[in-house]
Amino acid sequence: MGSPSSVQAKSSSSPESQETQLGKQHQQRRVQGYTLSPEKAQQAEAFARARRRLYFVGFFYGVGVYLLVLWGRIAPKYRDWAERTF
């Protein structure tokens, strides 16, 4: 083995050298961007398509219900019913 003073000297210089090595590795490996795995990318694209499709379906459903109430003269019927009831 070695004398206690040599072991102590190695342990005291070891953390400093590890910190400098980690610092150098960190500087060398800078993040340039993030890419998904092919499976995750495909899943994300499918999710985005479904979300966009549901958005437009919901929008046109809302417009359709509004037009049905307006053109079907349902609104005046509800108004008359509310006036009679309350």
State what percent of residues in the chain have pLDDT above 70. 71
pTM over 0.85? The answer is no
What is the reported pLDDT for 65? 96
What span, in angstroms and rounded, lies between the C-alpha atoms of 37 and 23? 28
pLDDT, tens only, 41-59: 999 999 999 999 999 999 9
User: What is each CA distance from 64 to 11, 33, 76, 77, in whole angstroms?
Assistant: 75, 44, 18, 18
Assigned token pair, 55 = 């958005």
Question: Which amino acid appears at position 43 of this protein?
Answer: Q
